[in-house]
Structure 1
Amino acid sequence: MSIMRYYQKYHNVIRASLACLLGIATLASCTKRYEGYNTNPYLATLEQQLADGFLVGRNFPDMVNAVMPAGDPAGQTNFINSYQLAYSLAADCYSGYMAQANNWNGNTNNLTYGFNLGWVNEQFRLTGVLMAGWTRIRDATELSGDSLQYSVAQLIKITGMLRVTDSYGPVPYSQIPTGTFTPAFDSQESIYRTSIAELGRAADILHALGANAGTPLAAYDQIYLGNYVQWAKYANSLKLRLAMRMAYVDPSNAQRFAEEAVSHPAGLLMTTTDAALQKAIPGRNFRNPMFHLSHGYNELRMGATMDSYLRGYNDPRIARFFQTSAIRPGVYVGLRSGIEVVPAVYQPFSTLNVADDTALPWMYASEVSFLRAEGVLRGWNMGGSTAQSFYEEGIRLAFAEQGVTMPADYLTNSTARPINYVDHSVGNRYSMAARTDVTIPWENAGSFERNLERIITQKWIAMYPNGAEAWAEFRRTGYPRIFPVGLNRSNGTVNTEIQVRRLPYPLQQYQENAANVANALTLLGGPDNGGTRLWWDAKP
């Protein structure tokens, strides 16, 4: 279902539902003679539903699962397919984290840049779910005056919309709440600038009012259990992430926004307990789709780039992330993405070490430390300390977040480097030399680019398995150095070495919203293919 049709389906009932609820509370004003017959004494009043958080709270799980599909209330498995189409067959593999042991459409698919224009509609459908939930919360909080609950909804909305715009570029956004079947596309620049302003307002409100407001969303909030203080920290940390994304396209404002985020009194995500994790809570369905894709569908596998870096660095987190292979028992074996896959050959490669209830990360505190390290490297005021200190702090936090002991020499081992990738299939067809020799220890005399590569490489490891963010950072900085596809079926529109920069627009958008898609291409500034760069993808 397209974003417009999904949204229209729910938009028409949003205000009608609220009107009915209002009608329950004020029925006598409309039917003065028949209130005794028309009022259901067992139905909660609007005031009661607002008081226990139900009217607003029930929408948060829908919004959260539109950011990352992970289970559904009916206990069905549609979330697995949804996550696979939206992220597993795109960002999770483009980021170098994972690869697929299947060969859809004769190996002409998203992974080999022969895009399936039906698959790429899933993020648009999820946007409809996200914005429908957000609109219901907006309307309900307008009635209740609850700016804290609205601020949390804003943060979830921004998190989800950024994943979408970072995949395509211009996307429908500001006109979606009008319910039109054909919403205009907003430029990525406008989405970013609007989001940064909204993040600032949300942080202010959550910091000023949240500490003494209790946790009315505890039963609905799968990220922070209704803790408004934690949401305020997340708001600032997300603002810092957005600011850094602008570093090459608008460096002066990027610095200003980053420094605002760091200096905000609500603070940032700084400890392991601060992590924004989508997880199971009592009464809310949660299942990790990657568990099913790796062990049920028997498709999702460890990426070759992870193989090269983690084994080269002797990084013990490899056992936390992946399982040893069946093709070489006791050995971790990754798989190149975008190759000519024969399922029976590649299925014995390393699976993901993930369970049905493993939480999904939206943001770790370690990422914030790496962002601050890069900020200092760029000459920004990141609240004291040196780039090296923030960098090393990020690594320590990243190990702690995974519950893995960091080797004593990890920060000082100057000989550990990424290793060559060995395919281990018959003929080693897709083996490739390591793409870099970057080491772990900080170099005070090192160049800007060399130390930036260190920061991003370690941030990339730490953010696993958040493929959407890892792919965005690879495009922004060029790091880490990811193995290219072995089979490029883009007909020349995507450079194999530069790699894919975006997803093309879905066929359904052309069929149902063609005029606005044409305008979107003007905003994009290039053709609708995987080789066109996004607004922030501006590094020379």
Structure 2
Amino acid sequence: MKSSKYISILCMGGLLSLASCTDGFESDNKINGSFDDIVKEYDFQKYTTNFETIQKGIYFNYDWGEGTTWPWQTFQNLNHDMFAGYFHDFASKFCDKNTVYALEAGWTASAWNYTYNYIFPVAHKSTLITQDEAKYKHFYGATLILKVEAMHRIADTYGPIVYSKFGKNEANSVDTQEEAYKAFFNDLDKAVEALDAYLKEGGKEDGVKSINMSNCPTASRWIKFANSLRLRLAMRVSNVNKALAASEAKKALENSYGVIESSAENIQISGKGYQNPLAGVAGWGETYMGATMASVLNGYEDPRISIYYSPATLADHTEEYLGVPQGVYAKDGDPNYYQSYSFINTKTIAASTPAVLLTAAEVWLLRAEASLRGINPKSESAKQCYETGVQASFDQWGAGDASLYLASKGKPTDYINYAAGPGKDMKALITTTPDFDDAANQEEQLEKIITQKWIACWPEGMEAWTEQRRTGYPKLFKVQTNNSNGTIDTDIMIRRLPFSQDDAKKDPEQYKNLCTALGGADNGGTRLWWDTGKNNF
């Protein structure tokens, strides 16, 4: 009997087997959530592997049979990173797809498919294994935090998701995005409670060190991670539910363990065989500087420009930083023309470079926004937090002292398109400057905060694109060619990615429930719950 249990549980404990157990929407309702003590003990032997898998699956770098680079490129780089204005891949085979809003279904479904087939089931099972075991409280708390970190990215990409009712065999297991966010906050409550109890009961601070890949060597640091993540999500809902944002910001900033405050505490994935997939895509020659990045960093004379990107090699423009606009076709149909434009700095992003998920710079800038909105319980001004956040980003990248930069009134430059000619030049849309003006109105101050957060979040395009949609900042250059057949407005820009159509065919009822929860057409033009189209102070 015991051996038969061990054999049957392999489908749940082994990652590759999990893929066959979670095929499409339908399987979301068919995962058994019950474990007896023997099975729990057996599964815990697999927990180390599962914990690593979850961490590798956020900034996706798990090889399930197609390598690690291509899955991540479709998971994030050809979607979020490009729509955020960070990078552009002008390969001729890609120029007629996402860059011109002719969304490639296989790419747009990638984040959904990989997460539900390989990552979320592992996180779900790991919480079931540990939730009732006193000796596993620290693992339980850490897993919940990672689960929220992974799944808010999916909700922010698509909208409604399967989360709180995953594995419960309910007829409709879909959460609206609002329901998902409330479940995220609830899971963060549980995580902090579990980790705090673990420490107060005499648990070792370094109890998760041996399987940690997230730069959280102590239980206290995991609580800081949770608090910082809570603050991120609190600001996300601030335009649509200020009361919820205020209560969650208060929890985050008044918790005795604190939030991330220095670059040494940045949440970043490394070790145990993890390789930064952005470096892999760069190795294919497909990560060029975005046009808005060139406009902003050049205009601000930002020292991070040479850290993020390499100078162009275009004749008569060597040593300049030139970006590629979204939605452009190469000169005379020759994609090689843009190969002389600025490329990612491969010394900065190498295979061994940790994948950064959440930084002190971001957290300080979140605090700045909370102060601006009047929901920061601490006695700190928006300007104070803003300037501390910018300096934290400079510290992170080794860019030196930010004091002169923070006094600068430099403005982004107009874009000159040397490839397509004068008719394709663009006036800068951004006029805000790095200096923080106390006399400016809230909207102007918010633009400064988010523009600097956009620079600081580089190269993590998922968070950058999400914040750009939420706030409208920074003001990105519009797509040059729009082939969306009217589903995406050029001026409003892309708002989300469509659900997986393969899964829609496998479970049309679940797909219908997702679309109902979305409240609009399943295309790139439909706004998400927190995307109100304006900033409500």
Same fold (TM over 0.5): yes
* TM superposition shift of 1:60: 1.2
2:162 is aligned to 172
- Rounded Cα–Cα distance in structure 2 between residues aligned with 1:505 and 1:103: 26
Which of 384, 404, 407 aligns to 1:409? It is 404
**1:366 touches 1:397 (CA, 8 Å); kept in 2?**
yes
Aligned partners of 2:515, 2:26: CA distance in 1, in Å?
24
**Aligned residue runs from structure 1 range 432-443, under 5 A:** 432-443=426-437
| Residue matched to 1:313 | 300
State the match for 1:398 in structure 2. 393
Deviation for aligned residue 1:351: 1.4
Other structure's SS at 1:277 match: strand
1:101-135: CA deviations, max 9, x gaps?
A: 21336x33122111111222211222222222113
Of the three residues 341, 344, 354, the one matched with 1:349 is 341
CA–CA distance in structure 1, aligned partners of residues 487 and 461 of structure 2: 23
What SS does the corresponding residue of 2:109 show, helix, strand or coil?
A: helix
Q: 1:66 to 1:178 in 2, by over 3 A?
A: farther
Does residue 421 (structure 1) correspond to residue 415 (structure 2)? The answer is: yes
Q: Deviation at 1:14? A: 8.5
Structure 2 equivalent of residue 121 of structure 1: 109
Going from structure 1 to structure 2, the CA distance change for 1:9 and 1:195 (only over 3 Å counts) comes to closer
Partner of 1:152: 142
1:225–1:246 distance in 2 versus 1, CA, 3 Å: closer
**1:81-100 CA deviation, whole Å, 9 max, x = no partner?**
11111110111011111111
- The answer to whether residue 303 in structure 2 is matched with residue 299 in structure 1 is no
* Change in CA separation of 1:110 and 1:324 when aligned onto 2, cut-off 3 Å: same
Question: Equivalent of 2:357, from 355, 362, 366?
Answer: 362
Q: Sort the Cα spacing of 1:112 and 1:4 in 2 relative to 1 into closer, same or farther, 3 A.
A: farther
CA distance in 2, matches of 1:7, 1:252: 33
TM-score, normalised with respect to structure 1: 0.87
Which amino acid in 1 is paired with 2:343?
T
How far does residue 184 in structure 1 lie from its aligned partner after superposition?
Answer: 3.3
| SS in structure 2 at match of 1:213 | coil
Structure label with greater radius of gyration:
1
Matched letter for residue 93 of structure 1: M
CA contact (8 A) 2:138 2:207 kept: no
Give, in whole Å, the separation in 1 of the partners of 2:247 and 2:28. 39
Residue 431 (structure 1) shift: 2.5
Listed as ranges, the matches of 1:276-287 within 5 Å are 276-280=267-271, 284-287=272-275
- In structure 1, C-alpha distance between the alignment counterparts of 2:158 and 2:73, rounded to whole Å: 17
Q: Partners in 1 of 2:93 and 2:268 — Cα distance?
A: 31
Following the alignment from structure 2 to structure 1, what is the Cα–Cα distance between the partners of residues 471 and 235? 11
Contact 1:412 1:441 in 2 (8 A): yes
Matches within 5 A, 1:4-403: 4-5=22-23, 22=38, 46=41, 54-70=45-61, 72=63, 78-104=67-93, 107-128=95-116, 129-142=118-131, 144-145=133-134, 146-178=136-168, 184-210=173-199, 212-280=203-271, 284-294=272-282, 296-327=283-314, 328-341=317-330, 342-353=334-345, 354-403=349-398
Shift of 1:219: 2.8
SS at match of 2:412: coil
Residue 2 of structure 1: how far off its partner (Å): 9.4
RMSD: 2.6
Shift of 1:175: 3.7
Q: Note the alpha carbon deviations across 1:305-341, whole angstroms, 9 max, x for none.
A: 1101111100011111111122233221111122224
User: For residue 35 of structure 1, what is the aligned residue in structure 2?
Assistant: none
Amino acid at match of 1:124: W
1:258 deviation in Å? 0.9
Contact residue 4 and residue 179 of structure 1 kept, 8 A = no
Tell me if the contact between 1:62 and 1:130 (Cα under 8 Å) persists in the aligned partners. yes
Contact 2:414–2:427 (Cα < 8 Å) also in 1: yes
In structure 2, the partner of 1:29 is none
How far does residue 429 in structure 1 lie from its aligned partner after superposition? 5.5
Question: CA contact under 8 A between 2:96 and 2:102: conserved in structure 1?
Answer: yes
**TM-score (structure 2 length as normaliser):** 0.88
- Cα displacement (A) at 1:186: 1.4
SS of equivalent to 1:361: strand
Q: Which moved more, 1:146-155 or 1:111-120?
A: 111-120
Q: Counterparts of 1:277 and 1:452 in 2: how far apart (Å)?
A: 27
Structure-2 change in CA distance of 1:259 and 1:112 (3 Å): same
Letter in 1 for 2:120: M
Q: Report if aligned partners of 2:470, 2:530 keep a CA contact under 8 Å in 1.
A: yes
Segments of 5+ residues of structure 2 without an aligned counterpart are 1-18
Q: CA deviation at 1:457?
A: 0.5
Q: Contact 2:30/2:167 (CA < 8 Å) preserved in 1? A: no
CA contact (8 A) 1:302 1:352 kept: yes
Deviation by residue 1:516-538 (Cα, 9 ceiling, x = unmatched): 21222221111111111000001
In structure 2, the CA distance between the partners of 1:3 and 1:167, relative to structure 1 (3 Å rule), is farther
Separation of aligned partners in 1, 2:285 and 2:189 = 43
Cα pair distance change 1:441/1:496, threshold 3 Å: same
Q: Hey, what's the Cα distance between the residues in 1 that align with 2:254 and 2:520? A: 37
Aligned length: 504
C-alpha distance in structure 2 between counterparts of 1:71 and 1:130, whole Å = 9
Shift of 1:504: 1.1
